[in-house]
Chains A and B, each alone.
Chain A
């Protein structure tokens, strides 16, 4: 099966939101309420459990290649955001149930019949895409229209896009096409056009690339997304050291105290190693007697063995 991808070219986007609507309708994603954000014509604001395509509306000064005839008017820049379907996907690595899987198209898919809503993928995603739907309890994000792809169809958003701002195809083809498009835009004087595909970070590239103008961070595309598994080595090393100290420290405390406080008798383990054989076994059998002495309060006002450890 081919590795499929999206290339979303913001310079072609007209902000019609047909992709948002087609995604919602085709995938039967619940409504996310009539809330007016006051942020340009964008009332969804971000990707989430019930928004798998999101068209951002950026208001800015008029600039070459972006609408507006008068210097006093603002102009709009639009970009249709979507799950990045990372090469090294934080959500997929985090998922403890195996619900999130890599499909034969190399896309990242949440199997809704397996997800138990633990929420660990939510903090695993460096792009803030996946989220848990409160009234459902499971995590949701773009499926890359897995079912449509299996049937040989392109995803609903790409199918419906009237300007071909959303392109669907094979990853390598789209990467080559993106490079050509950037060259073309630069040649036309759109010098701030950039391809967003963080291949130089631990994410290792994304299967939903974007062509945007200016700083990708203005579109909430992070400059240096990292897959959280890169922190595991340090974390487990630290955990191993902590576990070692916890066990070692506890053993030290009991051995030192046993040696000095329990009736001046060496602890069972020391006696055992020192004598060995049958006598050790006999000692071990007698051990409860040694411990059945009245409890010793080494912290008593006269206790003096507090300084021994």
Chain B
């Protein structure tokens, strides 16, 4: 006899497939781009940078909605997401944030509405950057809820890094963009170090198995690698390469976190002694 019933997992594994981690990447990058675009415009930076960033944000909104709809068990009922607003459900808050973000980032592109649309989409973009961390953190899955404080910071950092990386790959090379990428990569490095430092049996899926590999490789690609590439040399080609690794890292870590959730639900984390007898000893 073991501590759980025939080693049958106590929890149900997340049913989400590849669409959800890909959405977390697209939504994060779009949110980050909205923040960068609106602030660049406000601060009087190069106009093409702000324009391109706003286009990324505006394209990312509908793409996010499409990915999330594809993941639903009943995609034709996607509008039910906006049937109620429930502050206690991060999925509800997220759906409304995404809907409002999509609308405002489209408005930000129209000259007539951009004065309201741009700041609104930047504020909601900050929500897009962070809420996915709340979404998976506030669940019954141990590896997620044990990282509930880290996840929003981690997703925000890699989201804005992805936006900066996409803009770099589109040919923008503003120093401010480089500074943002360096700041995000620094945060990502710290987040990775924090996760590696902590000791808890629930964190095993971040270190072992497929999910462990994916998260660790992703973490290195989004943290220390772009940080070194952007600080150690001033060559533009290295900044381009750093952007590629940052994007790959952001994608991999998100896939890793969902895979870790699946592994965590099936992990034996009983507080009971084992092996043990549920009832009495031999007669």
Q: A residues within 8 Å of B by Cβ? A: 37, 39, 42, 45-46, 48, 56, 58, 60-64, 66, 68, 71, 77, 90, 93-99, 114-120, 122-133, 136-139, 192, 213-215, 217-220, 222-224, 226, 228-229, 231-232, 234-243, 245-247, 249-251, 253-258, 261-262, 267-269, 287-288, 290-291, 295, 297-301, 303, 305-306, 309
Contacts and interface: CB of A to CB of B under 8 A. Distances in A.
B279 A251 contact: no
Nearest to B282: A61
A217 B272 contact: yes
Given A213-B278, A235-B133, A243 B6 contact: no
Interface in B48-101: 71-75, 77-78, 80-81, 83-84, 86, 88-92, 94-95
Contacts of B174: 257, 298
A131 B15 CA distance: 8
Contacts of B80: 97, 99, 114-116
Contacts of A242: 129-130, 133, 152-153, 155-157
Contact of A238 (B44, B78, B148): B148
Interface stretch (B103-111, B175-183, B221-229): B175-183
12 contacts: A61-B279, A61-B280, A63-B280, A114-B83, A116-B74, A116-B75, A116-B77, A122-B14, A124-B140, A236-B134, A250-B160, A306-B234
Contacts of A261: 175
B156 A253 contact: no
Interface secondary structure of A, over-half rule: mixed
B43 A192 contact: no
Given A90-B140, A235-B134, A291-B45, A60 B278 contact: yes
Given A123-B139, A243-B127, A306-B175, A267 B277 contact: no
Contacts of A98: 83-84, 86
